[in-house]
Structure 1
């Protein structure tokens, strides 16, 4: 009986001694399953790198052995930027740009280049033009300075034909001749007619077409007048005038300066015939005659007054 009590006392004493040296932890958890919402997950087995996709949804961590879902959001201190998605276990990443860079748009000027302004009024240059018949005989010859003019209440301008940029084309017949002067901006046509009854040659039709900004509103003009009888001269003679202007309608004029023109009956030398001047250039003797008559009347008046005065002086004396 005493031996049993002694053995029990020894066991209790040994248990109390061990309890003073070893204190087991308060809680225990299986290895590999303990984690905290604010710490990195640790695994006891080697695994492939864990891919972290920071989003507002619960984050899924995938390992080779199992899948663990975190219900708490990923900490804002994560080192992975929000625009990087891991695609392979070797930590190779692909960057998906959320906004594509906008290329710089090239700016192209859409303004209309300024158009050339109409040439100012002034003298024009005369050119020499010829048409040949049978390659040897001249059928039309002209020495003219030409300008197309626009005169309206809303716009005005002038285009001068440049002889060095103009050439003559046309056709010659027995009683009709066509002289067309062609230049880069258009053309001008003179249609000559022959009157055997009056024995004269003249122009009965004028036509032109022009692509040039005579006005701000338009740069294309055309006109034709087929009811003319101008530039007339006797057959075999040439017409000459210092200045002519022909109205073509719609405010358009064809100005012809320093002109000398012939269309029919040239001499064998293919030169201009005798000159028939226009009415404006013909000498006007009426003014001279009027001035002479006036001077003669004044002289007669002076003589009459003198004679009358002398007679009155003679009557004033009495004989002794």
Structure 2
């Protein structure tokens, strides 16, 4: 029998964490052009990017599929910037119990830090930065935010976390990030493919509610039909007595 003690994790600076990791090459996405962020007054659906890191043996050790939208708040006004997979580079490191995926673009980055505790994989830290070159209200301003020790996106070891629903994370008073169409895994990736999925609660609700409503409708329909048949049979019995 295996006993597991529930314990909290304090993240070290990346320079300290690298000493226990496997050297990683960044793959898949290369910065194709220099295009600094420009905030827009209207939001749009961000494109979904496919990001991965490889270890020294060429095996995929971190894999992420997601779309991301920065939301910057100035007073009562929201401005938006979508992460563009074509101009985003994936870097980071892989370790047995700690891993980091950094999505870098010219003008900012998104960092995801994964930890593994008692065979449970969780996203423990998200760091965000954004340098604005031009927008309707801002010029040359930098925004930054962090979520630390939040225990997001839980999944069993060797499984992926799937959440196609929108999930908005508050990074700072004036900075949010909206993540959607996400599937992510930080440990034990086999043959470069995602493991079995752990479904997030919003996705589960979206999937199960139509089934429940459909089942309820069918059940009500059966009740109506049975009631009609019983009423018909009683009327027939009444006619026979006469």
Q: TM exceeds 0.5?
A: yes
- Greater RCO structure (CA 8 Å; 6+ sep): 2
Unmatched runs of 5 consecutive residues or more in structure 2: 1-36
**Are 2:105 and 1:183 aligned?**
yes
Q: 1:223-274: CA deviations, max 9, x gaps?
A: 111242322322112222223323224253222222221111122x222222
Bigger radius of gyration among the two = 1
Give runs of aligned pairs for residues 129-144 of structure 1, distance below 5 A.
129-144=51-66
Cα distance in 2, alignment partners of residues 260 and 191 from structure 1: 15
Structure richer in helix, relative to its length: 2
Distance change in 2, residues 1:313/1:288 (3 Å): same
**Are 2:142 and 1:216 aligned?**
no
Distance change in 2, residues 1:158/1:240 (3 Å): same
Distance change in 2, residues 1:307/1:150 (3 Å): farther
Distance change in 2, residues 1:135/1:186 (3 Å): farther
Question: 1:154 Cα shift?
Answer: 1.0
Count the aligned residue pairs: 199
154-163 vs 137-146, greater mean Cα deviation: 137-146
Partner of 2:152: 230
Cα distance in 2, alignment partners of residues 303 and 151 from structure 1: 62
**Are 2:184 and 1:258 aligned?**
no
Cα distance in 2, alignment partners of residues 303 and 225 from structure 1: 61
Question: 1:295 Cα shift?
Answer: 1.8
Any idea what SS the aligned residue of 1:125 has?
coil
CA RMSD of aligned residues (A): 2.5
Name the TM-score, length of structure 1 as normaliser.
0.56
- The answer as to whether partners of 1:238 and 1:260 remain within 8 angstroms in 2 is yes
Cα distance in 1, alignment partners of residues 222 and 174 from structure 2: 48
Greater than 4 Å deviation, 4+ residue runs: none
Partner of 1:147: 69
Question: 1:118 Cα shift?
Answer: 1.6
- The answer as to whether partners of 1:119 and 1:160 remain within 8 angstroms in 2 is no
Give runs of aligned pairs for residues 119-138 of structure 1, distance below 5 A.
120-138=42-60
Question: 1:179 Cα shift?
Answer: 0.8
